[in-house]
Amino acid sequence: MMTVSSLNTKIKSLLEATFMHIFVEGEVASVTYHTSGHLYFSVKDKESSIKCVMWRSSVSKLKFRIEKGMHIVIEGSVGVYTPRGEYQFYAVHIEPYGKGALALAYEQMKERLKAKGYFDAQRKKAIPKHIEKIALVTAKESAALYDMLKVIEKRWPLVEVMIIDTAVQGRSAARQIAHALKYADRLNVDVIVVGRGGGSTEDLWSFNEEMVADAIFAMDTPVVSAVGHEVDILISDFVADLRAPTPSAAIEMILPDLHEILYTLAEYEERFQQVTMSRYERATHALHHAEEMFQRVSPMRRLETLEMEFKRLDEEFRRVFVHKTERFYSMIPPLKETFSQTVYFSFQQKEQHLEYLAKKLQMSDPRLQCKKGWAQVSRDGKSIALESIEKNTSFILEDAFIKIEAVCTDKKKLF
């Protein structure tokens, strides 16, 4: 599944890679010269039309004014405006209908190399994001080299630069450029920029030669073609892994901007601080919440609650105790009087009962019941009559105070 932005980006890549540099013939259907200097127009044939735009830098180079109904040939590429998903033709050069010998040779060369697969997008190598070494293939004393070095110094002075000097125009230029490219490919650099400043079609023609295209196509190192000005589209541009409108623009496209990186790092630092502070605040809030929750369920909190409850109960107990004590104290005098009366009455009853028992005991005392000179006769623990005692038999005599063991020596009846 793809997002809309992803789909538009892929469409942009496919269209711009497929229609990097083409010529379109048609009749001008509408035309607007904007106050900004840009030119907005559309061209049509019998069956359809297409919107076109030409930027101010290219409009300033036109030798004639575009008017509605004019039959023209537009040189440029198809581009996509990703936010709206719209495509249009970006014109870099416009001529009245008809073209010259160099243009025809250019088209024939382009078609031939395209058929050989030189322009295929899938074979193009990606430009490294982090470049440590770069090779510049251009004329040593050229303005293009000066511009590139100036941009490097301003944009990313940390990169190591290797300069490979070569002729960039003339009869032997194509061969020297191809040789310089092969040499640069063996230097183990991250990217190679080949190019020169602006000039006429004849001046730039070396970069349209097939031997230069062959050298670029065979490279193992990514190559950036930076020839001429923005409107100059050459064969080297199609074969290279990346096309830059100018030499200085090539450096801007492949090297990071030191100031932008510092600014980005500052933004990252600020964002990191914000995220860190936000996370810290959330963590602090969570910690406080956890502390509150812990305090609610912690043993110490429970002990504090129990201690408070104990104090409350203790106070309540003391209050109730004092209240009841006061009530009891108020009840003591009457209770004391009642108790004293009850005890006194009880003592009287007990004294009377004691006297009664003493008298009864006295009356029941065996010592009082026995008359003087009388004793109880018994044998083997049983009381017996004297008449039952035989002569020479033992028996016991006892009263309340004395016990005597006796033997009958003689027995006589008195009556």
Do 226 and 170 lie in one domain? The reply is yes
Q: What is the pLDDT of residues 41-99, one digit of tens each?
A: 999 988 899 999 999 999 888 766 788 888 888 999 998 888 888 889 999 988 766 65
d(CA 379, CA 269) in angstroms, rounded, equals 131
**CA distance to 140, 162, 239, 252, per residue, from 195 (Å):** 12, 14, 13, 14
Where residue 84 sits, what CATH number does that domain have? 2.40.50.140
Tell me if 188 is assigned to some domain: yes
Note whether 251 and 268 are same-domain residues: no
Q: Is 266 a domain residue? A: yes
Q: Supply the range of the domain harboring residue 160.
A: 133-256
Q: Tell me, yes or no, whether 191 and 252 share the same domain.
A: yes
Q: Flag whether 115 is in a domain.
A: no
Structure tokens at 389: 């005692």
Of 231, 256, 281, the residue at which a domain comes to its end is 256
Q: How many CB atoms lie within 10 A of CB 186?
A: 9
In this structure, are 195 and 215 located in the same domain? yes
**Pairwise CA distance, residues 46 & 159, whole Å:** 54
**Residue 243 lies inside a defined structural domain of this protein:** yes
**Domain match, 16 and 93 both:** yes
Q: Are residues 193 and 246 in the same domain?
A: yes
- 246 and 269 housed in the same domain: no
Specify the pLDDT at position 101. 41
As given in the structure block, the two tokens for residue 31 are 């035309």
Alpha-carbon distance of 21 to 92, in angstroms, equals: 10
Closest CA to 26 of 103, 107, 91: 91
Low pLDDT (below 70) residues in the chain? 63-64, 96-105, 108, 298, 362-373, 415
Express each pLDDT in 331-355 by its tens digit.
777 777 787 788 788 888 888 888 8
Task: Count the neighbouring beta carbons within 10 Å of the beta carbon of residue 282.
Answer: 10
Whole-angstrom CA distances from 373 to 368, 370, 388, 397 are: 13, 9, 20, 11
Q: In this predicted structure, what is the pLDDT of residue 55?
A: 92
Q: What's the total number of domains in the chain?
A: 4
What is the pLDDT, as a whole number, of residue 169? 93
Same domain, 234 and 269: no
Are 167 and 82 found together in one domain?
A: no
pLDDT value, residue 371:
63
Enter the tokens of residue 271: 């964002």
Is 88 in the same domain as 197? Answer: no
Instruction: Judge whether 308 lies within some domain.
Output: no
322 within a domain of the structure (yes/no): no
Are residues 145 and 58 both part of a single domain?
A: no
The CATH number of the domain holding residue 213 is: 3.40.50.261
Is 74 a domain residue?
yes
Q: Is residue 69 part of a domain?
A: yes
Indicate if 214 and 140 belong to the same structural domain.
yes
Tell me the three-class secondary structure of the chain, residue by residue: CCCHHHHHHHHHHHHHHHCCCEEEEEEEEEEEECCCCCEEEEEECCCCEEEEEECHHHHCCCCCCCCCCCEEEEEEEEEEECCCCEEEEEEEEEEECCCCHHHHHHHHHHHHHHHCCCCCHHHCCCCCCCCCEEEEEECCCCHHHHHHHHHHHHHCCCCEEEEEECCCCCCCHHHHHHHHHHHHHCCCCCEEEEEECCCCHHHHHHHHCHHHHHHHHCCCCCEEEEECCCCCCCHHHHHCCEECCCHHHHHHHHCCCHHHHHHHHHHHHHHHHHHHHHHHHHHHHHHHHHHHHHHHHCHHHHHHHHHHHHHHHHHHHHHHHHHHHHHHHHHHHHHHHHHHHHHHHHHHHHHHHHHHHHHHHHHHCHHHHCCCCCCEEEECCEECCHHHCCCCCEEEEECCCCEEEEECCCCCCCC
Q: What is the pLDDT of residue 98?
A: 60
Q: Pick the last residue of a domain from 297, 324, 350.
A: 297
The residue among 199, 189, 230, 294 whose CA lies nearest residue 21 is 230
Block residue for tokens 């004395």: 402
pLDDT for the residue 29: 92
